[in-house]
């Protein structure tokens, strides 16, 4: 599988990667999915301390046991949670970030994290303090690089200006084209890569597009009404071909922009993983088809979550 560099770092990740949030709690199945992903050439696995209140990191840690050197591991911090009471609050303080990494390392059963990400962020945060925490963790060798997971343009701009982040994880797909409006070119200019989450838009861009849209978009999606969604998805389905399943096309779309390092998809079963791995054998995305997709959808902007 082709690999792309994250920012100017020494981290090179597979063009598609595995988001661990959907792995579930069955350790054997999680190990099967991870094994199959690695066998296919995926080398980046993304989790977060908040997923299942720490349990997801434990599942990932067991699934990668004995295979640490084969992959790049990312996790996140910033949600100070109480696992017993299933409660959490936002905490981007230096003390929480530095204690959070130790907890994640223990749950994952590893000595270092390749990519440590702030799991959100607000403009009201003490951003310099958070940056200081990440810089110290990098200096101490507990993390290799750091980034943020955020869709807030104002927050992203501050980190790009003040810090050494190498990546921003953000929702990006053919339906949610907000990053195209003001973020992708900006990040490219700052040599910061995008990790695109949600590339299949909750399955609405998958091989079961109409079915999933009827389930997930009953009240619309972002700026689109339900009626607009159904019209677009029917046109989207017309792009499907034996050489290019819709799952593959959705992944190809977000990877078209060179600042996107990887498309991070979830898989709750080996079957879902196989559907997304159709990307590997799909016919290349042409500029003509890319333009056709953009003509069917439309650009939207970040009105909220600034």
Residue 217's closest CA among 207, 206, 77, 228?
228
**CA–CA gap between residue 205 and residue 300 (Å, rounded):** 17
Sort 306 into a burial class: Cβ within 10 Å, 0-12 / 13-18 / 19+: exposed
**pLDDT attached to residue 300:** 80
**pLDDT attached to residue 298:** 83
Q: Tokens for 151?
A: 């869709």
Sort 111 into a burial class: Cβ within 10 Å, 0-12 / 13-18 / 19+: exposed
Write phi, then psi, for 14 (nearest 5 degrees). Answer: -65, 150
**CA–CA gap between residue 146 and residue 166 (Å, rounded):** 6
Q: Which CATH architecture has domain 3-202+254-284?
A: Alpha-Beta Barrel (3.20)
**pLDDT attached to residue 16:** 98
**pLDDT attached to residue 89:** 82
Kindly name the residue from 12, 44, 51, 224 that is annotated as catalytic: 51
| Catalytic status, residue 302 | no
Q: Domain map of the chain by residue range?
A: 3-202+254-284
Q: Tokens for 233?
A: 């998805």
C-alpha distances out from residue 283 to 62, 219, 237, 240, Å: 35, 34, 16, 11
**pLDDT attached to residue 156:** 95
**CA–CA gap between residue 197 and residue 176 (Å, rounded):** 11
Low-confidence stretches of the chain (pLDDT beneath 50): none
Let me know: does 47 contact 21? Beta carbons within 8 Å: yes
Let me know: does 148 contact 157? Beta carbons within 8 Å: no
**pLDDT attached to residue 223:** 87
Write phi, then psi, for 116 (nearest 5 degrees). Answer: -105, 125
Sort 301 into a burial class: Cβ within 10 Å, 0-12 / 13-18 / 19+: exposed
């Amino acid at each position: 599988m082709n690999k792309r560099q994250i920012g100017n770092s020494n981290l090179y990740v597979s063009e598609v990667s595995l988001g661990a949030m959907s792995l579930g709690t069955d350790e054997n199945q999680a190990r099967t999915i991870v094994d199959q992903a690695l066998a296919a050439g995926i080398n980046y696995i993304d989790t977060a301390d908040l997923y299942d209140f720490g349990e997801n990191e434990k599942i990932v840690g067991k699934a990668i046991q004995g295979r640490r050197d084969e992959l790049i591991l990312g996790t996140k911090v910033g949600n100070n949670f109480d696992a017993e009471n299933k409660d959490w609050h936002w905490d981007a303080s230096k003390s929480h970030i530095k204690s959070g990494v130790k907890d994640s390392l223990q749950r994952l059963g590893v000595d270092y994290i390749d990519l440590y990400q702030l799991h959100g962020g607000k403009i009201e945060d003490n951003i310099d303090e958070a940056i200081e925490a990440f810089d110290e963790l990098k200096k101490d060798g507990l993390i290799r690089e750091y980034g943020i997971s955020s869709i807030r343009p104002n927050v992203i701009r501050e980190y790009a200006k003040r810090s050494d982040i190498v990546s921003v994880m953000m929702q990006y797909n053919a339906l949610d084209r907000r990053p195209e409006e003001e973020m992708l070119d900006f990040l490219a200019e700052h040599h910061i890569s995008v990790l695109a989450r949600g590339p299949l838009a909750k399955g609405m861009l998958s091989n079961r597009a109409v079915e999933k849209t009827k389930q997930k978009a009953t009240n619309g999606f972002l700026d689109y009404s339900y009626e607009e969604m159904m019209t677009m998805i029917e046109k989207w389905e017309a792009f499907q071909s034996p050489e290019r399943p819709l799952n593959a096309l959705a992944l190809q779309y977000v990877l078209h922009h060179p600042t996107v390092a990887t498309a991070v998809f979830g898989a709750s079963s080996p079957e879902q993983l196989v559907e997304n791995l159709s990307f590997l054998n799909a016919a290349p995305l042409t500029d003509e088809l890319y333009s056709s997709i953009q003509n069917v959808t439309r650009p939207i902007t970040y009105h909220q979550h600034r």
